[in-house]
Amino acid sequence: MRLLRRLVTALMLVMIFGLLSLVGLIVIRFAQSPAPALPAQISLPDGVTAEAVTMGSGWFAVVTKDQRILIFDADSGKLRQEIDIAQ
């Protein structure tokens, strides 16, 4: 009888720990920061949404939701290159 009581208590503790872990993971996942702001001198083509932005020496790269990389000149803001990401 004591063994059964200990097993039930252990199971209860494991289930509580698991539930708290799941809640913690969900909270962490939804609390991610929003996407970075696009530099002001860059204007994206109509219908294009940025997923990520990175900067290099004299250029900005924008990864779009439709799986393209757009590279813009940092000074003029003009599109220098467009790369399609093969899946």
Q: Domain segments of the chain: what residues?
A: 1-32, 35-87
**Residue closest to 48 by CA, chosen among 29, 35, 67, 34:** 67
Spatial contact of 67 and 57, defined as CB atoms under 8 Å apart: no
Task: For residues 4-18, give the mean pLDDT.
Answer: 97
pLDDT at 51: 87
pLDDT of residue 48: 87
Over the stretch 21-66, which tens digit does the pLDDT of each residue have?
999 999 888 877 776 566 677 788 888 888 888 888 889 899 999 8
Burial class (CB within 10 angstroms; exposed 0-12, middle 13-18, buried 19+) of 53: middle
What is the pTM assigned to this prediction? 0.54
